[in-house]
Each structure stands twice: as structure tokens, then as C-alpha cells.
A and B are shown apart, each in its own frame.
Chain A
Amino acid sequence: MQNSSEASGFCLTEILDNLDCTDLLHSLDGGVLLLDAQCRIIFSNRWFCRHTGFPESDMLGQTLNQLFPEQLPLPLQDAIETACHQRLGRILSYQLHKRLLPLQRRTPSGELQPLHQSILIKPLSQSELTLVQCLDSTNAVKREQHLRAGERILKLERRVLELIATGDSLDTILDELCTTVEQLIPSASTAIMLLDESGNQLRIKSAPGLPSTFARREDSLKLGSAITTCTRAVQLRTLAVTPDIQQDESWRPWVESAERLQIAACWAQPIVATYDEVVGVFACYPQTTGSPSESDRQLLQRMAHLAAIALERHRRMERIRFLALHDPLTGLPNRSLLNEHLGRNLRRAHREGHQFALMFIDLDGFKQINDQHGHDAGDDLLSVLAGRMTEQLRGTDTCSRIGGDEFVVMLESVQSPESAIQVAEKILRCLSTPVQRGQLSLQVSASIGIALYPHDGISADALLTCADDAMYQAKARGKNCWHRISH
């Protein structure tokens, strides 16, 4: 009795012997042609007939050159002839020959599209025939394009993340993001717009590829007044697409300038920060009409996300910087920031030869308020008085809190000692005005020491010491007054 492997071996041989080779070639998912020594087609499988549109009878006896007159690229003609005449096997790869045979294939939705292919040409042994095999690479090409695009995005994303991590300026990072998208969506300009503090107006923050005239037009992007692609993105919190701005009513006022800049469409992706807060828009302006492809959408999403990260980081840094340089209770600059401003003002005053004033202010009777009414009352009082003092000053002056109830005011420039004295008197008045806290009326006064640059000192230390000494003398003279040490 035969064992099973022998039986199946026997069967296999028999099956293979009886296999209809022609049937097999017809059922292949790929093109097969047999050419004779004169390059004429002597067999074509059904795949070829399907993708060329020629019935087999039209193909037989013809060369590919006759079948597709003046359509075959030279390398293909050359490879076929070399194979048929000189018997050299060839491969023609898709990447080196983007166009080979003019074949088409149907997409699942029924559209005809060019068939990307590679071709193998094999001279057969023991005969003069040459086998031409055509492989459909369309899907491989798609995969490859996808892969390459993914790699490019990753690489560019990495660069942006590096910029964010190394603490490059926000402008640099946002410009880089715009440039990145412009590289990946060719012939499109981009802009990053941010909502202003009121949350009502979009302002261009970055648009490296667009002229400044364009930046001005977007300046008028008020939410609520006009609905544009970008404002829609903010309101709907999702990608807004205007495929053709010529057809869009809201674009009417800017159609001309858009034409000049070859802007045909607008895609706007909202930039969403933490807590789902929309902080701006990533706008993309392609030169051709149309909607973004799936990969364009993903790209815009990812870049808007990176912009959100960069903005978030920038905000945090600003916050950290603010906290490091301001007094948490009153929000006034602290000693560090005062020193910074003082140093800068000294250099400027020295350079420009102007005078400026420093006032050391110490509250009179603040300790009693704290003792009698508690620290909360004292804190509230300090906050109110800080606000009042700031109101007496110009934006360029500095009012800082440097200790419990000690403040230093720097008047950035003064015409004369008298103008400093006037400010000191205004401060004395505003500080001694009672502060109402519920039923309670809290009142303190202040002693102020004044020092003037350059008369009373030309260094920060000298000026501060002089003002401090003057303040003590004001205290000694009965408080609620100012004093300047006469030299």
C-alpha cells in the first residue's frame, strides 16, 4: 500500500502535468506577454487585454511599439529589443521609469486611473521567446508615498519640537511651522493667527510666505462682525474649508488681493490649547481651488497641535517670568525687576544726560493695622494702596514693593527736583486717604525719601541708600511727609 506522501506526490505530479498553463496565465493578477524574436506578441493574458482595452486578436502579431505608437518610452523599447535580440534579461523599475506602458486601472469607485507598474523581461531558455511580465505597483506606490510623506512630517515635526524644547522664540517656531506646511503642501501659503486678549479678534502672528499687505487685511478679522473661513474655524472649533474663494460671499471684499497673491482657496484649522480653549487659527491658502485631502487634514491638525504646544509653552514661560519678577500680593514689580529697570534707566540717563528720581516709601502705622485687624486686612490695604500709587505714575515709571510695607518708586525722568516733589506729594495724599473695608475704615500715612540722579548719586546703590536715609529722616520729622537730603 502506498503511504500518503507518495500518494500526494504522485497526485501532484499528475496534477502539474495536466495543468493547463494557458488557463493559469490568464488567471494571473498581472500582465503576461510572450514575444517572438522579432518582438511580436504571440500571447497575451486576459489581464493585459483588460488593462489595455485591446482584444487579444488585435494584439497578436503586433509589437508593443505598433500597439502604442509613439507612446513607449525609449528605455522600454530598448529593453524589449535587447531582450528579444540579444537575450538579456531586464527589469524596469517604477521608481526609475515613472511611465512605462500606457495602462489604466479602475479604482473601486469606478474611475480610470493610470496604472503604475514595473516590468520584467525574461528571455526564455530553450526557445527564442521572451516573457514580458507587468506588475501593478499602484498600491505599492501609494504605500510608498504615504511612508515618505509620513517620514517627512516626522522629520519636520522633530525639528519644530526641538525648537520648542530649546526655547527658541515663539516667532521663530511659528514661522518654522508655516514654512513646514508650505513645504509639505506645495503652492500654498500659510498664516498663523492668534485671538487677541478680548477673544474677539484674530491677528496675524506669523505668515513668512505672505506679504505684509496681506497681514493688514486679516487685521480686520473681527469675530461676530464678518464671518470668514478663519472666524468660522474659531467658532465651530473644527477645520473650516472654503474650496473656492471666488464663489464665497464672505471673501468678496478681499477677492482682488487674493487674486494678486494667487490664493484660490482657504483651509483654516483651529489651534486648540489646553482646557479646549481656541487660541487661534492655522490658515492654509492653496493656489488651486479644492478641499484638503485626508493627509492635508492630518498635517494641518498636527501642525496646529504643535502651534498649540509652542503657544502654551510660551505662555508658561511668560507666567514664570512674571512670577519671578513680581510681588504675588500686589502684582507690583519686585526688587529684582526694580534693579533691572533701575540699571537700564541709569545707563539711559547717563547716555542722554537727563535726571530721574528714586523714592523710598515706608508706610506709617501699617503694623498697627496688621495687629488690630489681622493680616488679611493688612494685605487688602497693601493691594489697594499699590493700585492707588500706580495710578499716580506714568506707564514708564516703576512702582515696586521691596518689603512688607516698603515700596520704591522710580520716576523714569524728571525735569527738576520740583516735579519729583509734586509726585511725592500726590503719593502722600493717595496713601493717607482712608481705605474702606466693609464697615472698617483703614488709614495709614507714608514717609518718603527722595533721591535724584545724578545729584544725589550716580549708582543704583548710592541712590537707594540716599533715598532710604532720606526716608528715615522723614520719619524722624514726624512722618506723613517727604524728605530729600541736601548735599
Chain B
Amino acid sequence: MDLFSADEHDLIVELMNLGVGRAAHALSQLVSDEILLSVPRLEFISIPEAQKAFHNDLPPFLAGVMQNFEGFINGRAALLFPEARSLELVNAMLGEELSADEITELEQETLAELGNILLNHCLATLANQLQQQIKTDIPLAFSTSADELPGTLNLHHDDDENTLVMLVQIDFSLRNSALRGYLAFIIDLHSADTFVTALRSYLAELL
């Protein structure tokens, strides 16, 4: 999608890296151990493309955390993991050696907080750096299949034209565990104008 220029795209990547870095710092403090996060890839895609990407790139069963946001951009953000490994991630965060067969309600909450910290830092960094406002709702942890993901994220075909997906790969590394997840930001294009304007004025100031 060519909504953003190359410079604007690079700026977004940089801001996401900054946000993810701050989230890693916050998480590391929380669990008193080093958590490393990095963003190897970021792309803007349409809903049909996103559905294809979900289908091709994601494992059949997913665990995730979803959070609505509104402000200079509106939409919904989600952190997605292979379901089988979400528990491993929670256990690594808690420093637990044993892994249960099934995720319990307490572990759901822990996963929700992990996603919450990550998504908040990404969105807040984006907003703060661009001198914009953003408000986030409370997070919701969920499990779903890759096929049902578009429904879970409330992606509707009739809104295709008005919705943009920012898909971000994210690599976690903590306590001998390493895993890859995805951040999906489903952005209402009605708000994209403010986004582009904000990016442009930020870039203009840099020059």
C-alpha cells in the first residue's frame, strides 16, 4: 500500500522500535530479568492481504491479547502468538520451570498484561513522538484459530476500503526462550489522514 512514503514508512518503523524497546525495558523491570524485543519486519496491508498473511504465516491456533484504541488514530491492536507457546512465554516471564497443559485464568491475565504493556508502549510512543493524543481500552486475552482470527479481530469485508492493517513481526527473547509473535494494528482509515499529517509534520521538523 502506498499510503505512506518511504520516509514515512521508515519513521513508523523507527517509532515502533522505540516503543518496543521501552516495552522491553518495562517488562524487564517487572520480571527482574532481561527481556529483549525486536521488530524484524513491518508492513502495511489491506484486509484481504492481512487475511491471507494470517492464513499463511500464522500457526493454526493462536493466543492473543486485543486492545481498542482511539485518538489521533482509531482502531484495534492485537498481539498474536502460537497458542502452544503462549504458556511457555508466561512461564518464562514468571520464571516457572514447569508448564501446565492448559492456560489458567491467572495465566490469561498475565498474558493480557504482557500484551497490554507492549501495545500501550507502542501506541503511546507513536502518539507522544508525533505529539498526538491516544487513549487505550483495557486488554482482553483470547484464544482463537487462524481462520477465525478475522472474526475475533472484528475485520469485516464491508469495511475493507476503510481499514488498514499494520502487521509487525516481533521477536521475544527471555530466559533461554525465544519466540516470534505478531502485532497487528487494525487502523480505521477515516483516521489515517491525521496519522499521515502527523508523520509529515514530524518529518518536516526534522529537516
A contacts, CB < 8 Å to B: 75, 82, 86-96, 118, 120-123, 125, 137, 140-141, 143-144, 147-148, 151-152, 155
Contact = CB atoms under 8 A, between A and B. Distances in A.
A92 B70 contact: no
A143 B105 CA distance: 10
22 contacts: A86-B124, A87-B134, A87-B136, A89-B135, A89-B138, A90-B116, A90-B138, A91-B116, A91-B139, A93-B113, A95-B106, A118-B106, A118-B109, A121-B138, A125-B70, A137-B106, A140-B106, A141-B106, A144-B104, A148-B98, A151-B100, A152-B98
Given A147-B104, A152-B98, A155-B98, A88 B109 contact: no
Given A140-B104, A147-B100, A148-B98, A87 B135 contact: yes
B137 A95 contact: no
A122 B138 contact: yes
B37 interface: no
Given A89-B139, A123-B137, 8 more contacts: A89-B136, A91-B139, A96-B31, A120-B138, A122-B138, A125-B135, A148-B96, A152-B98
Contacts of A90: 116, 120, 138
B137 A122 contact: yes
B86 to A, nearest CB: 14
B116 A89 contact: yes
B98 A88 contact: no
B112 A93 contact: yes
B93 interface: yes
B163 interface: no
B24 to A, nearest CB: 15
B107 interface: yes
A236 B108 CA distance: 47
Contacts of B109: 91, 93-95, 118, 137
B110 interface: yes
B84 interface: no
Interface string B114-136: 00100010011000000001111
B196 interface: no
Residue among A95, A120, A155 facing the most chain B CB atoms (10 A cut-off): A95
A155 B98 CA distance: 9
Nearest to B30: A96
Contacts of B138: 89-91, 120-122
Contacts of B96: 148
B113 A96 contact: yes
A148 B100 contact: yes
Nearest to A118: B109
Contacts of B113: 91-93, 96
Contacts of A122: 137-138
Chief secondary structure at chain A's binding surface: mixed
Contacts of A123: 135-137
Nearest to B101: A151
Given A87-B136, A93-B112, A151-B100, A144 B106 contact: yes
Contacts of B110: 93-96
Contacts of A91: 109, 112-113, 116, 138-139
Nearest to A121: B138
A89 B100 contact: no
B94 interface: yes
Interface string B69-102: 0110000000000000000001001101010100
B135 A88 contact: yes
Contacts of B100: 147-148, 151
Contacts of B136: 87-89, 123
Interface string B128-166: 000001111111000000000000000000000000000
B14 to A, nearest CB: 21
B95 to A, nearest CB: 11
Contacts of A143: 104
A45 to B, nearest CB: 18
Contacts of B107: 95
| Cβ-closest 6 pairs across A and B | A87-B135, A93-B109, A89-B138, A93-B113, A95-B110, A93-B110
B98 A151 contact: yes
Contacts of A92: 113
Given A95-B110, A96-B93, A151-B100, A140 B30 contact: no
Residue among B31, B116, B123, B124 facing the most chain A CB atoms (10 A cut-off): B116
B129 to A, nearest CB: 14
A140 B137 CA distance: 24
A90 to B, nearest CB: 6
A87 B100 CA distance: 35
Contact of B137 (A89, A118, A137, A148): A89
B103 to A, nearest CB: 11
A93 B135 contact: no
A82 to B, nearest CB: 8
Contacts of A155: 98
A144 B102 CA distance: 11
B66 to A, nearest CB: 12
A93 B106 contact: yes
A141 B110 CA distance: 13
Nearest to B102: A147
A174 B3 CA distance: 70
B8 to A, nearest CB: 25
B29 to A, nearest CB: 9
A140 B110 CA distance: 13
A152 B98 CA distance: 8
A125 B137 CA distance: 9
A151 B94 CA distance: 16
Nearest to B133: A87
A143 B90 CA distance: 17
